[in-house]
Amino acid sequence: MAPPAPWQRRLVRIVTVAQWIALAIGIIAAVFSSNASAISLVAAGVAGVYVTVSTAIPLRYLARRFFLETITLVGATLTMTAVTLTGATESPFVLLSLTPSIMATVLGGLRVGIASALLSGSLLMVVSLAQQQTSIAGSLGFAGLYLVVAATVAQAQRILQDMSKRTAELEASSLEARRRLEDLEAAHGLLTRLAQTASKDISATVIGRTALEELESRYPGSAGTATIVGEEGPVVVAAYGDHRSDLHATRIPLRVGEREVGDVVLATPEPLDDADLDRIETTLRPVALAFANVLLLQDIARRAIEEERLRLARELHDEIGPSLASLGLALDVAMVQNPAEPALSEHLRQLRGSVGRLVEEVRATVADLRTGRSGSLRGHLESLAGTLGDSPKLMIDLDELRPPRPSVADEVAAILGEAIRNAYRHSGGTTVRVHGWTDYDRGHVVVEDDGSGFTPEAVPPGHFGVMGMRERAAKVGLALTISSGAEGTRISIAWGE
């Protein structure tokens, strides 16, 4: 049998107290009615043995079927013996004789209680008939009393059981509601932090870091990464911790409606259950909305830039280009018509050369506008920061009026990325700072660290980072300067005038 429920324990205590009260009433009544005869004392002793033994047996044993049926049988026998010795239906121990069937009903249910009631009722009926105290109808009435008591206790037991079950369900619902409220409070707190952050910086990197800080505080010893959907695939925008092999990684997608805008991969010492996942998803809903807003803003900006780029390309090609070509042709005619004036001819040749260079620049610009896509250099650096560790600290102080022109943008981004990764891997410093400015066809960006430095002219074999940066700079005409010493390393890139 299952261990007794709390409500059963309370009922058993009540029945136990009732047994002692019934015993006391029976003893007092027997003493006063028979002047403490030997028979009444024997009956009191027999009844006292049952009450004492039933009280002394621990409840965990009494609830077992064998012990329960045994003590019920012994209790019915002993109490009926006391009833037989003291007047059958008129015995002061009749009330006590009801308690074995009550106890059996409480611990064993209706079937065991009815069986015990039938046993006690049958014994009382036999005794009363044997002593010729009542008729058969009267004996059946007394015997039926045991059945009524057992049925009543069983009904009360069922009501208490239903109440206990309902109480447990209400407590579980209350606990679930409290947990959901805590989740909503956490989500609201994260949303508030994101709103405060968005007023200063709405970048995906800051949003991802804010979300991961919340998870790190909730799951100590964990590791996590936040990823946003990019044009060319997922882009890691923030990370923390060490993704060790002994951790259990779980991917939590970030969705707005049916659209997935990113995900968070959380690695924890213990596997996450469904309740944990539900809580995390509730907490991260503001992050999904924030990522969706970032992607929307990026899409709007990209479309606006593309439309403006195409408009400028058409104007350059259809209006400025032909005008410059006509100007060049007019200068050619003027040089042919004035061969006898050397000074004028030289001046016209210089103007013709300037016009020719301007035409080439217009053609290059049209090609950039129609075919090139220059993304934000700051956005690229922030995405790179999300894939790096917490040490050294990366500080980005870049004044990006306009992204680098497409013809140099890829190489600038690649050189800066290589410089930052080298600083993280080899410098041993505490801070890496990226600062400078960009304005389309002009720019000057510097990567500095406070590490131990190195000798640029004596790079160890197998390390091609510096060589690759120089080759990329030479390819598109960037001015690359590398200086390093005991106070750190400084890598400078410049283009345009």
Whether domain 377-495 has CATH 3.30.565.10: yes
Based on C-alpha coordinates, what's the Rg of the chain?
46
User: In b/e form, how buried is each residue of 81-115, taking b as 16+ CB within 10 angstroms?
Assistant: bbbbbbbbbebbbbbbbbbbbbbbbbbbebebbbb
Closest CA to 371 of 315, 306, 317, 321: 306
Q: For strands 393-402 and 431-439, give the pairing.
A: parallel
**The pLDDT value given to residue 352:** 67
The Cβ of residue 318 has, within 10 Å, a number of other Cβ atoms equal to: 10
User: What is the phi-psi region of residue 88: left when phi exceeds 0, alpha when psi lies from -120 to 50, beta otherwise?
Assistant: left
- How many whole angstroms separate alpha carbon 298 and alpha carbon 307? 14
Half-sphere exposure of 194 (CA within 13 A, CB side): 28
Yes or no: say if 450 and 488 are a contact pair by the CB < 8 Å rule.
Answer: yes
Task: Please give the chain's pLDDT, 497 residues, in tens.
Answer: 566 677 777 878 888 888 888 888 888 887 776 555 778 788 888 888 888 888 888 877 777 877 777 888 888 888 888 878 887 777 788 888 888 888 888 777 778 778 887 877 777 777 777 766 656 666 666 667 777 877 787 777 777 777 778 877 777 776 666 666 565 566 556 556 655 554 455 677 777 887 788 788 888 888 988 888 876 678 888 888 887 888 888 998 988 878 888 899 999 988 888 888 888 887 788 788 778 877 777 777 666 666 666 676 666 666 666 666 666 666 666 666 666 667 766 776 677 677 666 666 666 666 566 555 556 888 888 878 877 777 788 888 888 888 888 878 888 988 998 899 888 888 888 899 999 999 888 899 999 999 888 877 666 565 567 888 888 898 888 999 999 888 889 999 999 86
Question: CA 318 to CA 356: how far, in whole Å?
Answer: 17
**What pLDDT, on the 0 to 100 scale, is given for residue 315?**
66
* Boundaries of every domain in the chain: 6-167, 199-293, 304-371, 377-495
Q: What is the DSSP string of 83-96?
A: HHHTTGGG-TTHHH
Q: How far is CA 397 from CA 115, 193, 237, 314, 422, in A?
A: 87, 23, 18, 35, 19
C-alpha to C-alpha distance for 444 and 418, rounded to whole angstroms: 17
pTM flag (> 0.75): no
Would you state the pLDDT for residue 319?
64
Q: Which of 91, 7, 10 is nearest to 43 (CA)?
A: 91
Instruction: Evaluate whether 199-293 and 377-495 have a shared fold.
Output: no
Fold annotation for 199-293: Beta-Lactamase (3.30.450)
Q: What is the DSSP letter of 255?
A: E
Quote the pLDDT of residue 434.
93
pLDDT of res. 199: 47
C-alpha pair distances (Å), 160 with each of 5, 113, 143, 167: 11, 16, 26, 10
Residue 188 is predicted with a pLDDT of 56
Burial degree of 426 (CB within 10 A; 0-12, 13-18, 19+): middle
DSSP for 452-463, please give it: ----GGGPPTT-
C-beta atoms surrounding 183 within 10 Å: 17
Q: Is 188 helix (H, G, I), strand (E, B) or coil?
A: helix
Residues 59/12, Cβ–Cβ less than 8 Å: yes
In terms of residues, how long is the chain?
497
DSSP for residue 294: H
